[in-house]
Amino acid sequence: MSEARGTEFHVSSARPQGGGCINEAWIVGDGENSYFVKLNTSDKLFMFEAESEALGEIGASLTIPVPRPVAHGTASKRSFLVLEALPMGSPKDGSWQAMGQKLAQLHRTTADRFGWHRDNVIGSTPQYNPWTERWADFFREQRLRPQLELARQKGDHYARADQLLDRVDSLLEGHRPAPSLLHGDLWSGNAGFLEDGSPVIYDPATYYGDRETDLAFSEFFGGFSPDFYRAYEEEWPLPPGYERRKILYNLYHVLNHANLFGGGYAGQAESMIRQLLT
């Protein structure tokens, strides 16, 4: 911290933060400044390196605010990520609309291919991001197939998984999305508002992909106001066929939840696969 700031930093307060299932989190301060600190085992440093780079890239887009990364590294056999501690608040009039508009503006930051310059994680699961020309190829080979293979390694088998992989091209036929800069894990737990009501997003799993994937997952658990979606549509309307593609895109997250947490997610994934093959 002292090295990153260029001045001595002496911790005078440390408050544990709940809500995370992957990392330990604290807010630490020196009486003048506060920082949000994530901790994990030393072998997880790559996760924090990727998150820091993702926050930096989203921040550089000058669209939707994110916490500024301050430092990351290892100490005492732990890996750490230090972010600015943001003054969180509640939405005010126009807050949800602003989030929708700014997310659409983020998505207008594009690349010439799908992927990212490095791999990262979704939750704690590896997420592979090799640069790929075709979106259908990227989503099939770097999103669905690794999750299905991980399930097989764990002893879970989805009866029609191979059939679904063969169907991805037809499910995305005629759909030509731009490679948009994505949050990548956009649910209500990874979005909020500052004290002044302005929107902020955090905990990204960033890559360049179809912007519909962010919208799809935002719907999965709920928690986003209808004003958010209306404002997004006004800023950048979604093309026809989104409701069908949404099922395919959310299948990735459901498979990941099944691999991480078990429970009823495997049955939900089976149901989604059947729905997509109908």
What's the confidence (pLDDT) of residue 3? 57
Which fold is adopted by the domain 95-277?
Aminoglycoside 3'-phosphotransferase; Chain: A, domain 2 (3.90.1200)
Q: Is the pLDDT of residue 145 over 70?
A: yes
CB 231 within 8 A of CB 101: yes
Sign of the CA dihedral running 190, 120, 254, 261: negative
- Residues carrying an active site annotation: 185
Give the least confident one: 22-26, 39-43, 80-84, 244-248: 22-26
Looking at residue 270, what DSSP letter applies? H
Q: Express each pLDDT in 75-101 by its tens digit.
A: 999 999 999 999 999 999 999 999 999
Q: Which of 254, 110, 116, 91 is nearest to 188 (CA)?
A: 91
CB 211 within 8 A of CB 105: no
Q: Assess whether the region 2-84 and the region 95-277 belong to the same CATH fold.
A: no
Q: Which residue has the higher pLDDT, 215 or 29?
A: 215
Q: Is the pLDDT of residue 5 over 70?
A: no
Q: Express each pLDDT in 230-250 by its tens digit.
A: 999 999 999 999 999 999 999
Q: How confident is residue 22, by pLDDT bands cut at 50, 70 and 90?
A: confident
Residues 95-116 have a mean pLDDT of 99
Mean model confidence pLDDT for the chain: 95
C-alpha span between 260 and 254 (Å, rounded): 10
Q: Is the pLDDT of residue 11 over 90?
A: no
Residues 116-142 have a mean pLDDT of 98
Name the residue ranges covered by the structural domains of the chain: 2-84, 95-277
Q: Express each pLDDT in 196-209 by its tens digit.
A: 999 999 999 999 99
Residues 257-269 have a mean pLDDT of 96
Pair of tokens at residue 225? 């106001």
Q: Express each pLDDT in 160-193 by its tens digit.
A: 999 999 999 999 999 999 999 999 999 999 999 9
Which fold is adopted by the domain 2-84?
Phosphorylase Kinase; domain 1 (3.30.200)
Q: How confident is residue 30, by pLDDT bands cut at 50, 70 and 90?
A: confident
What's the confidence (pLDDT) of residue 10? 62
